[in-house]
Amino acid sequence: MKLLLIAAYLARFAAAYLLRYLNLRHLARHGSSVPEGFAGAIDAEAMAKSARYTVEQSKVGLIQSVYDSALLLAFLFTPLLPRYDAWISSLSGSPVIRGLLFVLILTLVQSILEIPFSLYTTFRIEKRYGFNTTTPRLWFTDLLKSTLISGLLLAILASSALLLVRHSPELWWLWVWAFFALFSITMMYLSPYLIEPLFSKFEPLGDPLLEEEIRRLLEKGGLQVKGVLKMDASRRSLHSNAYFTGIGRVKRIVLYDTLIKQMEHSELLAILAHEAGHWKKGHIWKRLVLMEGAALALFFAVYHLVSWGGLPGLFGVDQASFAAQIIMVSFLFSIALFPLTPLGSWLSRRNEWEADRFAAELSGTPEALASALVKLSRENLANLHPHPVYASFYYSHPPVVARVARLLR
């Protein structure tokens, strides 16, 4: 059975590799051609630079994928997992404490093993293409903060889940799901005030005219937000973006300072109208309900797999702790759920189309959003020629060329 599981995982890896290969081959064939609607804003030199950037990112991503897969298979299908599990089980303390240590130590080791790729991507690739502005000190500070915060949040979730498993052996899957859902919604409220300010500085736009135009736009769209803020993204990178954060009465619009420098007012308003469209169309809540529904089904499946008792045998071990079995289940899910990736991508792209339509109607100038998308593509060196199958499988947003064409027709 071990060989069958390994073969299934390798088949999944091969499928992902094939998709990446198709995308790069498609880029090699079409990457130099400037799409219709982009002429004058992007030239052949910019297209070539974008292609090189995409290729370098893909190559590093492939190496990291091979690296991660090799480590995972080695951990699960050699004596590493049972020995690690036995060592944790030999420690003093309650089962909850031991289970928490199992998760935290494993997560910390995984984070450390990923550091070389983060360093190379940030200080080689991003620097080579003119994006990186972070310093080694700031990078390390961010790493330390994110490790501590994620460790704290993971400790809360894992310890709570283990306690619920211990005290409700038959219905823990339902209580854990409910707690995780409540925790997720709570963090959506608290993150803009407790976590995001630890990494970035948020301040008023400092442009009264733009602020007034944004206020009128949001009033026209019937959307209330707590504030429109500028984020000092340029401290770390010259990539540009905008996003909504928070829910309910704490909704905020955040604009990267890099985006403000790159865009005209009409283009910024079009981008904000697109983001507002996600809220107006209920995409955030719909996605949350969908995700929580899927999570409930997954927790129910986890409960039955663990209760079955044959899970350790699939991996060639006689027994395994609850925490170890969760790792095993995660491995199985990574294989079983891979074919469903295009479904999630399609649902996300459908929301993006709706937000584009809303933005065009609200602003009254679809050309402004099209112009903004062209600039975003140029400034971020986006791949304008993804393979259709690759885009269908992975892209959460429609390919930008298709979005611009639909806005301008």
How many CB atoms lie under 10 A from the CB of residue 309?
Answer: 10
238 and 258 Cβ atoms separated by less than 8 Å: yes
Question: Which phi and psi angles does 179 have, rounded to 5°?
Answer: -65, -45
Which residue, 243, 11, 281, 237, is CA-closest to 133?
237
First to last CA, the chain: 55
Q: What is the pLDDT along the chain (409 residues), one digit of tens a residue?
A: 899 999 999 999 999 999 999 999 999 999 889 998 898 899 989 999 999 999 999 999 999 999 999 999 999 999 999 999 999 999 988 999 999 999 999 999 999 999 999 999 999 999 999 999 999 999 999 999 999 999 999 999 999 999 999 999 999 999 999 999 999 999 988 998 899 999 999 999 989 999 889 988 988 888 877 778 999 999 999 999 988 887 776 678 899 999 999 999 999 999 999 988 998 899 988 999 999 999 999 999 999 999 999 999 999 999 999 999 999 999 999 999 999 999 999 999 999 999 999 999 998 889 999 999 999 999 999 999 999 999 999 999 999 999 999 999 8
Distance CA 131, CA 240 (A): 10
Structure tokens belonging to residue 323: 């925490």
- CB neighbour class for 362 (10 Å; exposed up to 12, middle 13-18, buried from 19): buried
* pTM metric for this prediction: 0.92
DSSP states along 221-262: HT---SEEEEE-GGGTB----EEEE--GGG-EEEEEHHHHHH
Distance CA 58, CA 285 (A): 33
Distance of CA 250 to the CA centre of its chain: 22
Distance CA 168, CA 337 (A): 28
